[in-house]
């Protein structure tokens, strides 16, 4: 058994409350002060919810399902906070009402290992470590298009109206692609009244803008307001990439990094094996501070309540 702890973004004091839990990946709800996790070291896997208030864990409950639906360790909460998208393809409700929370809602036609959302156009995008990006209608949850990338997709990001794909060409070259989706947005099918409608996927042959990154990416995060992507690579460097022109700036980290997050205009790099979180300026990449953790950890999430949450 391990612990799920919280730390203040502005101080180094450990909040004096802990909930026992299994080794898990975590995602912070975009609206509620709540963390969702999925277990990785027990079978069947299970979703858990931790309500937080001012950095303290105030309540906890888990999903009513235990093996009823397949669960992958990869999951994301939709930006509107309404759904939990699991890599198995299963979608669950996400609501403040405990009685209706984490209830099975729909299953996509394909599994995925990456997902990104464009809710302004009611679209979301998934990939499964191959060269195909699937485009879904957010209202019907049906696949409406597919787009070919230049390599196997390692990560999908959507920011400032752009769909970005980190891809590997299987020859050691990593590429950041600006996937052209304007024609898809401009030619969306007429909305259908039910998720049961059958839509035929269309493959786009449009070219993408590419930047050769020449690095192995451990984890990545995007700036919510600016056209920057931040990655930690196999050389344990923090790299900032301007995806308008491909310009890169990097700084050595000096420790074994394993996860990265953005919050409060700062980059938080998790050095899980060393039990430490490094804080860096998002514009200059200058080191600012560190938080020492009692033990090793797997993942970090920065809440909108001013606290960092880690899963171990």
209 vs 43, higher pLDDT: 43
Confidence of residue 130 (pLDDT cuts 50, 70, 90): confident
pLDDT value for 15: 35
Q: Tokens standing for 288?
A: 């600012």
Cα–Cα dist 134/136, whole Å = 7
Neighbours of 73 (CB within 10 A): 16
pLDDT tens digits along 163-205? 988 888 776 667 888 888 888 888 776 655 444 434 444 444 4
pLDDT value for 303: 80
Q: Please report, rounded to a whole number, the percentage of residues in the chain having pLDDT higher than 70.
A: 83
Rounded mean pLDDT, 293-307: 82
Q: In what order do the strands lie in the sheet with 24-28?
A: 24-28, 34-39, 47-53, 56-62
pLDDT value for 9: 53
pLDDT tens digits along 23-55? 457 888 999 989 998 887 777 888 989 998 887
pLDDT tens digits along 239-292? 998 877 778 899 999 999 999 999 888 999 999 999 999 999 999 999 999 999
pLDDT value for 211: 67
The owner of tokens 């409350």 is 17
pLDDT value for 22: 40
**Exposed, middle or buried: residue 35 (CB in 10 Å: 0-12, 13-18, 19+)?**
buried
pLDDT value for 72: 92
Q: In what order do the strands lie in the sheet with 83-86?
A: 75-77, 83-86, 90-93, 104-107
pLDDT value for 135: 94
pLDDT tens digits along 53-88? 887 888 989 999 988 999 998 999 999 999 999 999
pLDDT tens digits along 133-143? 999 999 999 99
Indicate if the alpha-carbon torsion angle 215, 259, 66, 34 is positive or negative.
Answer: negative
pLDDT value for 176: 82
pTM of structure: 0.74
pLDDT value for 182: 83
Asked whether 23 and 298 are in contact (CB, 8 A), the reply is yes
Cα–Cα dist 203/145, whole Å = 6
pLDDT value for 214: 75
Rounded mean pLDDT, 148-169: 85
pLDDT tens digits along 85-110? 999 999 999 999 999 999 999 999 99
pLDDT value for 70: 92
pLDDT value for 312: 72
CA distances from 61 to 47, 48, 65, 102, 199 (A): 9, 6, 12, 11, 38
| H or E stretch at 185 | helix 182-186
């Amino acid at each position: 058994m391990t612990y799920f702890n919280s730390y203040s973004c502005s101080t180094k004091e450990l909040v004096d409350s802990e909930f026992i839990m299994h080794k898990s990946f975590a995602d912070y709800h975009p609206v509620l002060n709540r963390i969702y996790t999925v277990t990785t070291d027990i079978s069947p896997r299970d979703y858990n919810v931790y309500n937080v208030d001012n950095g303290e864990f105030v309540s906890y409950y888990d999903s009513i399902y235990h093996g009823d639906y397949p669960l992958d360790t990869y999951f994301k909460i939709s930006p509107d906070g309404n759904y939990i998208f699991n890599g198995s393809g299963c979608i669950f409700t996400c609501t403040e009402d405990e009685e209706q929370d984490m209830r099975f809602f729909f299953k996509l036609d394909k599994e995925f290992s990456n997902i990104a959302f464009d809710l302004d156009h009611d679209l979301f995008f998934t990939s499964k470590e191959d060269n195909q990006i699937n485009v879904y209608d957010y209202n019907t949850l049906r696949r409406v298009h597919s787009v070919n990338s230049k390599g196997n997709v390692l990560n999908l990001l959507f920011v400032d109206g752009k769909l970005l794909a980190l891809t590997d060409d299987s020859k050691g070259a990593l590429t950041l692609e600006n996937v052209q989706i304007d024609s898809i947005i401009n030619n969306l099918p007429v909305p259908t009244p039910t998720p049961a409608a059958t839509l035929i996927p269309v493959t786009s042959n449009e070219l993408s803008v590419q930047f050769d990154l020449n690095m192995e990416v451990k984890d990545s995060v995007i700036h919510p307001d600016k056209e920057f992507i931040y990655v930690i690579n196999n050389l344990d460097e923090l790299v900032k990439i301007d995806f308008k022109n491909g310009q890169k700036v990097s700084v050595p980290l000096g420790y074994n990094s394993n996860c990265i997050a953005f919050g409060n205009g700062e980059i938080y790099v998790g050095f899980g094996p060393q039990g430490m979180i490094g804080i860096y300026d998002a514009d200059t990449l200058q080191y600012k501070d560190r938080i020492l953790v009692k033990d090793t950890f797997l993942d970090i999430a920065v809440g909108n309540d001013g606290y960092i949450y880690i899963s171990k």
